[in-house]
Amino acid sequence: MSQQTDEVSAEIVETLFSARANAYVPYSAHPVASVMVTPDGQQFAGTNVEVAHYKGLCAEASAISAMITAGQRQLATVYVMGPGDHLCTPCGDCRQRIREFATPETQIKVLSGSGELMKTYTMETLLPDAFGPEQLPPR
């Protein structure tokens, strides 16, 4: 984990604000937004969607799903924004989802609810010694 002083583009922050405003969070009241950026610069936004049986969809999973639907398979940068001024890092499931499409160079950037960059992670710092596709036998 490293503290960051660089800024996030206004376009990314606006996309995160917009996605977070559309979150469906009637149970937790904890809206989260995420933007996945591919190496060629395409952006895919997602937000969390809760359902009554509590097995909802995280913002990161929503954004990754949009990315995969568009035919993309690699992440350059991941942005995550929660509702407050505390770190809202990806949950364990989403860390593994991100790992599936990340490279060692992928940056995971966590923003405050007001859009300020709080921390930047690499995949290794976010999920050390992670299990990934390369650990599976060839098909």
Q: Distance between CA atoms of 82 and 58, rounded to whole angstroms?
A: 11
Q: Which residues, including other chains, have CB under 8 Å from residue 76's CB and lie 6 or more apart?
A: 37, 38, 39, 105, 106, 107
Owner of token pair 């996605």 = 19
- Burial group, residue 122, by CB count within 10 angstroms (0-12, 13-18, 19+): middle
- Marked catalytic residue, from 7, 11, 14, 60: 60
Q: Any catalytic annotation for residue 124? A: no
Show which residues are catalytic: 60
